Structure 1
Amino acid sequence: MGFLEISNVTKSYGSTEVLHRVDIAVEEGEFLVLVGPSGCGKSTLLNMIAGLEEISSGDISINGRVMNGVHPAQRNIAMVFQSYALYPNMTVGQNITFGLEMHGVPRAERAAALADVAKLLQIETLLERKPGQLSGGQRQRVAMGRALVRNPDVFLFDEPLSNLDAKLRVDMRTEIKKLHEKLKTTMVYVTHDQIEALTLSTRIAVMYEGHVQQLGTPKEIYDTPANVFVATFMGSPAMNILPARVVVRDGRAMAQVTTSDGAQTELPFSQQTLTAWEGREILLGLRPEALTDPDGADRKSANIVPLRSRIEVTEAAGSDTFVTTTLGGRDVIARLRADAEATAGDMFDFAVNMEKAVAFDPQSETRIPGA
């Protein structure tokens, strides 16, 4: 049983069910990220953990105590909102300690807690300022300080970085990660940004249309996505999904795909469970880094396959060059080295890392077991 246990939880508004039988066990000290597109139910689930939304059915427990019907103030959770929700007429110090004051914590204890949190977040010089005098990143630190000062069982973050610019988001991601490493407190974090999910979490719950599509570590989610939705939602650029046909040569399963010039090429799988799919159509999944130039290919892989195809578009991106080619009648993106000689319109010798290939059933769009 997890420290935070979400058991068979649903949420309905009238006759419309928006969350469908969610089961997630979060261990103490774990950093769980709920990720998915807008409207998938992730913020609703977070609000149910916080007690801001009622549970339609199922149970949510924290540290062995069932929270159904328990008032938010009695749950020993702390929440950091997207909007920061700071009191504009109070100083930073007053904002951080206001909750403690409302709970009757003595002045000396409040002052000691404030000093500890201010030092941890490096905001000692801001304590006498008002929120209107702070930058977005500083306001976010104050909002986090208000949560930290309470020493809760669980921290809840509701898209806390979405109002920040790109560079500040990266900086604050690092700060939140450091904070978790120091505190080892259970955290649940909602975002629609899959990069945030992959970099912050110890585990990820990918959500779509009220269902948890996959629950796993960042590596499991990235390398072995449960279905086409997870494969294309997680990763930037997204995983390439292209139609292929399984053929078997000398007992080895291969993905037969059409290249840009209409020729057929065969890419041998490392997983031999796909021999059972001989003659059938599949969807082949390749991450952009699994389709690269020969010098950029993974030297540890035992299954690098050459593939010749025409380059349609090139995009220089600093440390990488992304190129678009056509496979299986679809545009696919390859990640090449920055100094790879790739020119639009030319035929190019790609290297395909088939150890990283995954296969999906085209009917159900779920990953084929063992592939």
Structure 2
Amino acid sequence: MGFLDIDNVTKSYGAVEVLHRVDIDVQEGEFLVLVGPSGCGKSTLLNMIAGLEGITSGEIRIKDRVMNGVHPSKRNIAMVFQSYALYPNMTVGKNITFGLEMHGTPAPEREKAMKEVAQLLQIEHLLDRKPGQLSGGQRQRVAMGRALVRNPDVFLFDEPLSNLDAKLRVDMRTEIKKLHQRLGTTIVYVTHDQIEAMTLSTRIAVMYDGYVQQLGTPKEIYDSPANLFVATFMGSPAMNVLPAKLAERNGALHAVLTGADGQERALRIENAPAAYAAYKDAPVMLGIRPEAITDPEGADRNARNIQMLTNRVTVTEPAGADTFVTMTLSGKDCIARMRADADVHPGHDFEFAINMDKAVLFDPKTEDRIA
């Protein structure tokens, strides 16, 4: 039983079901991020938690109290919107305390709460300004202050950083993370940005086409994606997914690929899960993250199974601290992430070090991870 329980919830518009049997238990103090592409159902689910959308079937409970049909004002939740939704004719201080005033909170309590929140968010000097006099980041702090001042059971964030420029987004992401660590609040946060999801969350629900594709910690989602959608959606650059054949050679299973020269390249798999045996001599999809493919000097010294593979380099992309290197494997572009000073050049053969400890296999028909 969670602090916030989303139990077998569906949402339909007429005959069209847009959310399919969503089951998520959010523990008290947890930071859950709902992530996925536009139209996947994440904002609809957030609005159902808030009471802004009705539930077709299933239950949503907060602190074991069923929320189905309960008016948003009676749910003790606070929501921070993408658009900030500030009152332009009110001062910052008035915007922060307006909700408390509407709930009949006495003026001294409102003033005390406003000062505490303003200090926490470092906006004391802005309390007498109007929203039109603020930057985007300052407006977002005010919107967060308005939510915080109510001391709700659950905070809901609907893509709160998407209107900010890239640097300010990073800064605000850090502020939200600090705020959560300091207050231990329960947060459900919607974004389409997988970097936000990875850096902010204690758990992530990856959504696509109205289904929760995978629910887990950032590490679980990144290292052991449940299917090809999660594998390619989470991570930047995305996981390399390469057609391969699983073959037994010298008593061990190998993922067999084709190099740029058309010749086979075999990568040994150690301690293969039992489920792999059913795919022997059959096609599979090999998934491996770019950072698991590097130059020999940059390979993980703690890895148990580094496999060397010589192949032709297609493109190099210096990126400051890293160099991204593209080669062709099994007819697909495959990206490696190397040290900035790796001696690698387009058009030349290079010996890549591949950490097969990090490799995962997918069924090409179902697109699910094998084992």
TM-score (normalised: structure 1): 0.99
1:4 aligns with 2:27: no
Q: Could you list the per-position Cα deviations for residues 193-235 of structure 1 after superposition, in whole angstroms to 9, with x for gaps in the alignment?
A: 0000000000000000000000000000000000000000000
Amino acid at match of 1:173: R
What corresponds to 1:104 in structure 2?
Answer: 104
Q: Partner of 2:179: helix, strand, or coil?
A: helix
* 8 Å Cα contact 1:117/1:145 also seen in 2: yes
- Describe the SS at the equivalent of 2:138: helix
Take 1:116 and 1:165, find their aligned partners in 2: how far apart are those partners? 28
Tell me the equivalent position of 1:222. Answer: 222
Give the match's secondary structure for 2:32: strand
Q: Report what 1:172 is aligned to.
A: 172
Query: Which SS does the other structure have where 2:309 is aligned?
Result: strand
Q: 1:258 is matched with which residue?
A: 258
RMSD between aligned residues: 0.7
How far apart, in 2, do the equivalents of 1:261 and 1:271 lie? 30
Displacement of 1:277 in angstroms is 1.8
Structure 2 stretches of 5 or more lacking a match?
none
Show the counterpart of 2:154.
Answer: 154
Task: Please state how far the C-alpha of 1:270 moved relative to its aligned partner.
Answer: 2.7
Query: Is residue 323 of structure 2 the alignment partner of residue 357 of structure 1?
Result: no
Query: Does the 8 A contact of 1:248 with 1:275 survive in 2?
Result: no
Residue pairs, 1:1-371, within 5 angstroms: 1-273=1-273, 274-369=276-371
Which letter does structure 2 place at the counterpart of 1:256?
V
The one-letter amino acid of 2:171's match is: D
Once the two structures are TM-superposed, the CA of residue 296 in structure 1 deviates from its matched residue by 1.1
Counterpart CA distance in 2 for 1:51 and 1:184 is 23
Give the Cα separation in 2 of the matches to 1:268 and 1:139: 54
Mapped partners of 2:165, 2:269: distance in 1 = 42
Post-superposition offset of 1:250? 3.3
The letter of the residue matching 2:352 is: F
How far residue 355 of structure 1 moved from its aligned partner, in angstroms, is 0.1
Contact 1:252–1:275, Cα closer than 8 Å, also in 2: no
Amino acid at match of 2:294: T
Cα deviation digits, residues 131-151 of structure 1 (max 9, x gap): 000000000000000000000
Please state whether the residue corresponding to 2:45 is helix, strand or coil. helix
* CA–CA distance in structure 1, aligned partners of residues 6 and 207 of structure 2: 15
Q: Percent identity?
A: 73
CA shift for structure 1 position 295: 1.1
The separation in 1 between residues aligned to 2:364 and 2:38, in whole angstroms, is 25
Give 3-state SS (helix, strand or coil) of 2:145's partner. helix
The 1-side partners of 2:352 and 2:262 are apart by 16
Q: Distance in 2 between matches of 1:355 and 1:367?
A: 15
Shift of residue 262 of structure 1? 1.1
Q: Deviations over 1:12-42 (max 9, x none)?
A: 0011000000000000000000000000000
In the alignment, the residues of structure 1 paired with residue 270 and residue 200 of structure 2 have an alpha-carbon distance, to the nearest angstrom, of: 31
Amino acid at match of 2:64: G
CA distance in 2, matches of 1:271, 1:92: 60
| Amino acid of the structure 2 residue aligned with 1:326 | T
In 1, Cα distance between the equivalents of 2:76 and 2:48? 14
Following TM superposition, the consecutive aligned residue runs of length 4 or more in structure 1 with deviations greater than 3 angstroms are: none
- Separation of aligned partners in 2, 1:199 and 1:19: 26
Q: Which amino acid aligns with 1:288?
A: P
The secondary structure found in structure 2 opposite 1:272 is coil
Give, in angstroms, the shift of residue 249 of structure 1.
2.1
Partner secondary structure for residue 312 of structure 2: strand
Structure 2 residue identity aligned to 1:152: P
Give the aligned residue type for 2:263: A
Q: Cα distance, 1:342 vs. partner?
A: 1.3
Q: Secondary structure at the match of 1:285?
A: strand
Residues 258 and 327 in structure 1, CA contact (< 8 A), matched pair in contact too: yes
Residue type at the aligned position of 1:18: V
- Partners of 1:252 and 1:176 lie apart in 2 by 48
Structure 1: give runs of 5+ residues left out of the alignment: none
Cα displacement string for residues 40-90 of structure 1 (whole angstroms, at most 9, x for unaligned residues): 000000000000000010000000100000000000000000000000000
- Give 1:265 shift: 1.3
Structure 1 position 252, deviation (Å): 1.4
